[in-house]
Chains A and B, each alone.
Chain A
Amino acid sequence: MELEKKQWMTVIEPKTRLLELKLKEVWKYRDLIVLLVQRNIKVRFKQTILGPLWFIIQPIFTTIIQTFVFGHIAKLPTDGLPQFLFYMAGNVPWAYFAACLEGTSNTFTSNAGVFGKVYFPRLTTPISVAVTAIVNYLVQFLMFLGFVLFFMIRGADVHITWVAALTPMLILQMALLGMGCGIIISSLTTKYRDLQVLVGFGVSLWMYATPIIYAGSTLSPTLYKILMLNPMAPVIELLRYGWLGAGTTPFGYWGISWVTTGILLFFGIILFNKVEKTFMDTV
């Protein structure tokens, strides 16, 4: 038949191939990603007095509280670094990772209205969330660098090491890891809303399993080994070592961390693809 020979642009069938990533299609919609990122940023500070200042108010206050509670009251050791810088070096990237994870974890449920009416590659939404988080983080990172310079000028024992050159890779890894976990959760929440509750406190529990308010070097060797299997732990340790010059450099664990990230992201995308086709029927 004539119809069989025709080259169709799109063929819609009940099942997807497991590894159909449709990244080409996502690339075609790159303008949408840019616009979604712009929207996320613009909308966030509409009708606020301080506007974009909120970008840096949040991390500064978190750092001050941590310095006070964990530094002054609990007197946790900080590898000899100024406490303020030590805590900021941990919580700024953590906030960024948490934003990636939490933002992508409700992709399907919070966009059900749009997804139910128009088709576009669904992966654009989690990607735009991650990119928004990166933009936020870069602003906060510049602020952090400002503080580092300030402390260096004041003569604190802080020095930037060559490990700092790995920062772009570390930033990318945190985005991929956050997105990987986020889209796994978002795919599962189309059916089980339980996970949405889990995300909130899960992230804060995860934070305590990551050397943010304490230094990796203060742990016993066994505990250190176990803790470094947490994919975020080596990332934070390396970032801190790179920009402040103290702490540990767990490169081996960092390799494991990349493998974990890859696996999570891989399963995340497979699950996401499986769900995106028919999630409208179950969400």
Chain B
Amino acid sequence: METREPVICIEGVKKRYRLGVIGGGTLQGDLESWWAKIRGKEDPNLRIGAKKYDKNETFMALDGIDLTIYHGERVGIIGQNGAGKSTLLKLLSRVTAPTEGRICIDGRIASMLEVGTGFHRELTGRENIYLNGAILGMTKAEVDAKMDQIIAFSECEQFIDTPVKRYSSGMYVKLAFSVAAHLNNEIMIMDEVLAVGDLAFQKKCLDKMSDVSREQGRTILYVSHNMNTIRQLCDRCVVMSHGKIIFDGAVDEGVAIYSGMDGKDEFPVFYDCSQKPRRRSAGTGIRIQSIRFPDREKAIIERYHPVPIEITYRADQDWDDLQICMRIRNMQTIGELGSTLTETFSVKKGRLETARLLVDFSQMLDDQYLISFEILRRLTLGNYVPMENPDTFMPIRIVNERQNDIRWIKRAWGNIQLNDLKIEGISAGDGQ
């Protein structure tokens, strides 16, 4: 068994913030409130009508985080705004302290919550390298030893003895990142710092990060909203939501879960399409009113069990050559993975009708997808006219109920498993 050394251990960490204005902001205000409280009078600094100051009016930025990170891991942390990612990094970099819980760290942490922290406009590039290096925890000797590498990496040789106030913003960022990238610290924490600089430099930075991690066994924690950099850099993914860790595991899966989160309710089973905007290609004549997954609470579907879906629509006139089309797309890639059609059917004018479809997802791998429905009118010779396509993309999750299916590597094999190959026959060749 592989024995891995934990370098960061987070146990039950919570971080609470108080909502609203903290205190009166002035000594006078706080004294007034305090004096009123002593005399049992109403606080003069409360807004009129507001109830007494409520100690429970707090916000849990982090609500019980447990996480162990091992030596040499490259962990990507993703989540929506306000999920608590940055707060977690702040706690790890010791910028602020947790309200509850404990964090143990083994090794020096280099935190890059921002590049160029402590840069002074008036100082030259070289002077700023020393200063920034020292702020990040390097000694002067360490900076000296790395000076040439840092300057070379920053691509700023020419301007290194010019005050940084004369730098372009790109050069500034490059120089700042170079200092951070050459730290000797065992653990690196980065918050979206790669979102700056041109594409070539971004790639250079990513490669550098991968290098230091692989060759020197550094541990990296990286927060980003850019799923591509997460996929390139990380080998483990943590998804956060509302101050909690909701997923911890493989990168692809984590990214898929994150992409699927678009609101409060995950995988809803009912969609009202009557008010939804239509795409411009939508024709007229029939309107889908609602789409529903009957008899279930969430749109989580077992792969080998065809699922019923009910489409309710109303037509302006009689039609007898309509088809319903279902499209399916992946969360990661752009464009449709595939589509499927019903046979033609007819509708009566003005009547609310519901078509119950049975959808077979058995060719799709267990993952998250978005499905959408549209109605088209079939003409001869394979031509068709789009009639209706509400802008409703429904997240679904397909789970595999069969335990002994082959371990399918989606990155290599794709998300669609075609019907099984049949071996027609095996014949012996001419050789021995």
Binding site for B on A (CB under 8 A): 3, 6-14, 16, 29, 31-32, 34-36, 38-39, 42-43, 46-47, 113-120, 191-195, 277-278, 280-282
Contact = CB atoms under 8 A, between A and B. Distances in A.
A120 B101 CA distance: 22
Nearest to A7: B106
B327 interface: no
Contact of A32 (B99, B101, B114, B135): B135
List the 8 closest A-B pairs by CB distance, nearest first. Answer: A119-B94, A32-B134, A8-B104, A12-B103, A277-B97, A192-B27, A10-B105, A31-B140
Contact of B95 (A8, A39, A117, A192): A117
Given A12-B97, A193-B26, A195-B27, A117 B102 contact: no
B158 to A, nearest CB: 21
B122 A43 contact: yes
B117 A117 contact: yes
Given A14-B99, A31-B140, A280-B95, 11 more contacts: A6-B106, A8-B105, A9-B107, A13-B97, A29-B134, A35-B131, A43-B123, A193-B26, A194-B27, A278-B96, A281-B22
Interface in B205-250: none
A29 B106 CA distance: 19
A35 B134 contact: yes
Contacts of B400: none
Contacts, number: 126
B321 to A, nearest CB: 64
B139 interface: yes
B343 to A, nearest CB: 61
Interface of B: 6, 9, 17, 22-23, 25-28, 30, 68, 90-109, 111, 113-114, 117-118, 120, 122-123, 127, 130-131, 134-140, 163
A13 B99 CA distance: 8
Nearest to A113: B117
28 contacts: A8-B9, A8-B105, A9-B107, A10-B94, A10-B104, A10-B106, A11-B102, A12-B103, A13-B102, A13-B103, A14-B97, A31-B134, A35-B130, A35-B134, A42-B127, A43-B123, A114-B117, A116-B113, A117-B111, A117-B114, A118-B111, A118-B117, A191-B22, A192-B30, A195-B27, A278-B96, A281-B17, A281-B96
Nearest to B9: A3
Contact of B22 (A39, A115, A195, A282): A282
Nearest to B96: A280
A193 B113 CA distance: 27
A32 B142 CA distance: 12
A193 B22 CA distance: 13
Interface core residue of A16, A42, A192 (most chain B CB under 10 Å): A192
Contacts of B28: 194
Contacts of B90: 280
B219 to A, nearest CB: 13
A116 B191 CA distance: 13
B106 A39 contact: no
Contacts of A42: 122-123, 127
A193 B25 contact: yes
A225 B103 CA distance: 53
B130 to A, nearest CB: 6
Nearest to B23: A191
Contacts of A193: 25-26
A118 B6 contact: no
Nearest to A188: B27
B95 A116 contact: yes
A14 B98 contact: yes
Contacts of B102: 11-13
A10 B109 CA distance: 10
Contacts of B93: 117-119
